[in-house]
């Protein structure tokens, strides 16, 4: 069966990657693509006006929508998909708590899968972190993420997910963002550092240090294609699920 998808944010960096990756797959077809700056073709697909999203959902009836846009539009698209009963896959980061609540509300009417990072490497890094942190009890932890100079949100969605993983296995810790002036480390804090430079697709390092040793767990995305491939795997997997909230780790099982 071919899974048909709608793509939002089609003229964005990730939207283009998703359309390029979809063109190389036999199990997926693109029903439509939208952007708030429509008009151009991306990867041979006509890009339509984001304002017509609900109408496009009704006329094309896709199996799933793949969204990499911004927090406000992500919620609007999720609500429209919920109303239409269409599966919604999103990698949009920078959502507020209220944004996540709205996304979870959409999941009561349609299948919704949010992942702050669609790479398999980050899924493996998260498992390694959850093992390393309790094994290295009391070690200092510093998390550094590096992204391209056009990224809006900081720290990255992936960094926030990893921080939640650390809290899960070690208990809530104080998050110290950057360091300046008289700023000695306090016991148990987690230092968080965000760097923005060039066209770096995404790097995350978790550094654990203590007991005269250090362990560094680092992931580097070589290109955005890795995120697009994971999101399309998620769309193919999610398309025929019941309404509910799903996690990327379930796709990888």
Ligand X SMILES: O=C(O)C1=N[C@H](C(=O)O)C[C@H](O)C1
Ligand Y SMILES: NC(=O)C1=CN([C@@H]2O[C@H](COP(=O)(O)OP(=O)(O)OC[C@H]3O[C@@H](n4cnc5c(N)ncnc54)[C@H](O)[C@@H]3O)[C@@H](O)[C@H]2O)C=CC1
Going by the annotation, the residues of the binding site are: 9-14, 91-93, 115-118, 148, 157-158
Binding-site residue numbers for NAD(+) are: 9-14, 91-93, 115-118
When the beta carbons of 93 and 208 are compared against ligand Y, the nearer one is 93
Query: Residues in contact with ligand Y, total (CB under 6 A)?
Result: 26
Tokens of 244: 């509910």
Q: Does 14 bind ligand Y (CB under 6 A)?
A: yes
Enter the DSSP assignment of 50: G
Using CB under 6 A, pick the residue from 118, 142, 146, 235 that binds ligand Y.
118
When the beta carbons of 69 and 79 are compared against ligand Y, the nearer one is 69
Tell me the three state secondary structure of residue 251.
Answer: helix
Q: Which stretch binds ligand Y (CB under 6 A): 5-13, 98-106, 124-132, 164-172?
A: 5-13
Tokens of 91: 């990698």
When the beta carbons of 93 and 144 are compared against ligand Y, the nearer one is 93
Residue 147 is among the residues annotated as catalytic for this protein = yes
Q: Does 13 bind ligand Y (CB under 6 A)?
A: yes
DSSP string covering 54-118, please? HHHHHHH--SEEEE-S-HHHHHHHHHHHHHHT-EEEE------HHHHHHHHHHTTTSEEEE-S--
- What's the per-residue H, E or C state across 130-183? HHHHHHCCCCEEEEEEEECCCCCCCCCHHHHHHHHHHHHHHCCCCEEECCCCCC
Cα–chain-centroid distance for residue 117? Answer: 4
When the beta carbons of 8 and 117 are compared against ligand X, the nearer one is 117
Going by C-alpha positions, the residue among 43, 4, 48 that lies closest to residue 20 is: 43
Residue 212 is among the residues annotated as catalytic for this protein = no
Using CB under 6 A, pick the residue from 38, 94, 121, 244 that binds ligand Y.
94
Binding site for ligand Y (CB under 6 A): 9, 11-15, 35-37, 50, 68-70, 72-73, 91-94, 115-118, 157, 224, 227
Catalytic residues: 147, 151
């Amino acid at each position: 069966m071919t899974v048909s998808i709608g793509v939002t944010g089609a003229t964005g960096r990730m939207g283009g990657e998703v359309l390029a990756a979809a063109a190389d797959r036999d199990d997926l077809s693109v029903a439509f693509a939208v952007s708030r700056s429509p008009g151009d073709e991306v990867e041979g697909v006509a890009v339509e006006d984001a304002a017509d999203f609900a109408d496009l959902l009704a006329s094309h009836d896709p199996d799933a929508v793949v969204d990499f846009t911004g927090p406000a539009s992500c919620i609007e698209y999720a609500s429209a998909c919920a109303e239409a009963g269409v599966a919604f896959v999103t990698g949009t980061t920078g959502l507020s708590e209220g944004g996540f609540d709205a996304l979870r509300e959409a999941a009561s009417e349609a299948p919704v899968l949010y992942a702050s990072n669609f790479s398999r490497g980050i899924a493996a890094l998260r498992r390694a972190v959850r093992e390393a942190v309790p094994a290295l009890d009391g070690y200092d932890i510093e998390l550094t993420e590096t992204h391209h100079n056009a990224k809006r949100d900081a720290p990255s969605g992936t960094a926030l997910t990893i921080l939640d993983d650390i809290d899960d296995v070690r208990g809530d810790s104080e998050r110290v963002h950057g360091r300046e002036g008289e700023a000695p480390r306090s016991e148990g804090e987690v230092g968080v550092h965000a760097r923005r430079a060039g066209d770096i697709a995404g790097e995350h390092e978790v550094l654990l240090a203590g007991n005269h040793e250090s362990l560094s767990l680092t992931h580097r995305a070589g290109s955005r294609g890795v995120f697009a491939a994971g999101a399309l795997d998620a769309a193919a997997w999610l398309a025929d699920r019941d309404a509910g909230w799903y996690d990327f780790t379930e796709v990888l099982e």
